[in-house]
Amino acid sequence: MKRFYLICLICLIARTNTIAQDNYRPLVVEGKRWTYDNYLSIRPDKYNHFYWYELKGDTTINEQKCLKLYSENKYNDGLIRYEGALYESDMKVYCFFAGKEQETLLYDFGCHVGDQLNTSEGILTVKDIYRSENGNRSLRFIKLSLSDTQESNEELSLYWIEGVGCIKDFFAMAPFPGNYCSLTACEVNGEVLYQYVQPKFTEEGYHEMGIEGKTWNYIHHFVDADGIHEEPFSYVVKGDTILGRTVWKKVYYQDSTTERLAFMLLESGREVLMRNPGSTVAQSPYQFDRDDIGRVFDWNSEYGRGRVYWMLNAIDTIAVNGLDFRRFTFLQKTIEGGTQGMINHIEDSEDVWHEIWIEGVGSQYTGIGNPIHEEPPMSNDFTRFVSCYEYGQCIFTAEDFTTTSIRDIPSDPIVNRKSVNGQCFDLSGRRLTTPPAKGIYIRDGKKVVR
């Protein structure tokens, strides 16, 4: 009976292995191409570059048929180099490096959790095997660690993708300090097997502005020789662009006859960043993470009326069209001719002007445009915000800014905020597998300098 059970167990294992290999995605395929990015935002641009590997043509080494692997621009010189020849057997990938007649194990995709693998990168321990979505693709990931250097340091973990390879360099797999290489894409014959997905920078619960198709509607009122005019126009989020290796949303100005790119938009945490076309400088018109209630700021009036004092007075939440919006109410007071002493508080009264921000909408007077920090003089030429649409539905109007509050935000609303994935990012927002040995990076929402 024991022998019978043993035979059944062996058959089951054999059948399981057969099924696993039937579903296996091979790595060594003619025409497969990898795109890598050797990038660090704080380095001069001349050191940041893309490079490629490609399997192209076959050869035979020691009676083993292989595919030849070439690199292009690997050292930022534009040259194409022969790297070696690859073959695949039993879910393992081997390489005959250039000038070598003995193959080296690169990848073992048939491994199991707990296995120790003697590879070109050293002895690796398999920590986890799981599937994860990448776009509309389900990929099999293998998490490993360098056994001789670390056991539990998450930042030094290696990640393989079945049929793709390592998420760092194809050969230099370890995420050691100074290895800024990262896999951007892997494709074969026009089919994308893997594509780098930019991490979501906004915090949990944040109402985003940069939603594709989101629209802010306005009326431009002005008077000329032909009389009074009220001309509608809109700002629309439409498409994206890459600035400094980071994807920014494009926002277009549209009226009855015109469409033009107005600015680019990026949201980080709860902060809104904007860049004008052609500019290298980003402005931060909205900081929806601020909690400096009662702090007074001052500057000279833009309109020459004296000294302006401005203060965040309250943060609360309002419900509009079935959605909750965080609201920031500011008080502004202008003292003509200035004053000798700094005002340390502003009381709400009839001579105090209010400005309101709504997370996901913008300013009461300018919508997504730059907010106004002091009441402008009366004019026959002005623009007023009308409404905001999201996914084709009106979510907010000018009248909704003064909706009755449903709850107040605690005076320290940042206390329980979660950092973005608890990960490290460079200054352009790209996730770092491991922080640089020297330089500046962001961790847990704070700037770190090494």
Identity of the amino acid at 437? A
The helix (run of H) or strand (run of E) holding residue 8 is helix 2-22
Token pair belonging to 368: 């997504």
Tell me the pTM. 0.70
pLDDT for 440 equals 56
DSSP 352: -
CA distance 210 to 251: 8
Burial class (CB in 10 A: 0-12, 13-18, 19+), 92: middle
CA distance 192 to 36: 14
Token pair belonging to 39: 């990038």
* Closest by Cα among 307, 301, 312, 377 to 348: 312
- Cα angle 307-309-313, degrees, rounded to a multiple of 5: 170
DSSP 209: S
CA distance 133 to 140: 9
Residue 51 near residue 77 (C-beta atoms within 8 A): no
Residue 385 near residue 367 (C-beta atoms within 8 A): yes
pLDDT for 414 equals 38
CA distance 291 to 284: 16
Domain residue spans in the chain? Answer: 23-195, 200-417
pLDDT for 117 equals 94
Strand extents, DSSP E, 150-306 = 158-161, 165-166, 181-188, 191-195, 215-224, 227-243, 246-254, 259-268, 271-275, 283-287, 296-300
Question: Each residue of 94-132: pLDDT tens digit?
Answer: 999 998 889 999 999 999 999 999 999 889 999 999 999
CA distance 423 to 28: 32
DSSP 229: E
Is 273 in a helix, a strand, or coil?
A: strand
CA 343 to chain centre: 40
CA distance 144 to 166: 11
- Cα end-to-end distance, the chain, whole Å: 66
Phi/psi of residue 429, nearest 5 degrees: 90, 0
Give every residue of the chain whose pLDDT is below 70, as ranges: 1-22, 147-154, 338-341, 409-450
Report how far apart, in Å, the C-alpha atoms of 435 and of each of 145, 158, 438 are: 17, 14, 8
Based on DSSP, count helices (H) and strands (E) in the chain, helices before strands.
1, 31
pLDDT for 417 equals 36
